[in-house]
Amino acid sequence: MSDEHPNITLLQSVNLRDIASAKDVFSEDFVWHFFNPELPDIQGDYVGLAGLGSFFEKMRSRTKGSFRVRPVSITAVGDELVITHVKDTMTMDDQDIEVDAVVVWRFVNGRIAEAWDIPAVHDARVVDRSQ
């Protein structure tokens, strides 16, 4: 049995609800890339911790506070990349939605330098909560 990769341990220490507490985990010029043509008002690059916080604030605002990220799997790829599979849930336009996404995290000098958030926009599912 091998130990967990240090980049996975570092990533799991991040609390997305308290980005400011993770300032030592991210590089100063960190960039969050969000690809989603279905959300053109949110799609784009977010720089630094303030940018990352802005992205999550926009998602909370657009989903009336319902946006949640549930990790499914996490895999280190060499010593620079970590790939996470997540399920995002949210309510948009009065519909409960679940979306698979992958986030590719890049680590440089023991810090998170960049991340690409790629949702499966054509495979989003409306969730029936009445059952």
Comparing 123 with 31, which gets the higher pLDDT? Answer: 31
Residue with the two structure tokens 């630094």: 48
Question: Is residue 11 assigned to a domain?
Answer: yes
Q: What is the mean pLDDT of the chain?
A: 91
User: Within 13 Å, how many C-alpha atoms sit on residue 129's CB side?
Assistant: 8
Question: Is residue 76 assigned to a domain?
Answer: yes
Q: How confident is the model at residue 1 (pLDDT cuts 50, 70, 90)?
A: very low
Question: Is residue 47 assigned to a domain?
Answer: yes
Question: Is residue 12 assigned to a domain?
Answer: yes
Question: Is residue 54 assigned to a domain?
Answer: yes
Residue with the two structure tokens 């519909």: 95
* Domain count of the fold of the chain: 1
Question: Domain range holding 74?
Answer: 6-120
How does pLDDT run across 26-73, given as a tens digit for each residue?
999 999 999 999 899 999 999 999 999 999 999 999 999 999 999 999
This model's pTM is above 0.85: yes
Query: What CATH number does residue 86 fall under?
Result: 3.10.450.50
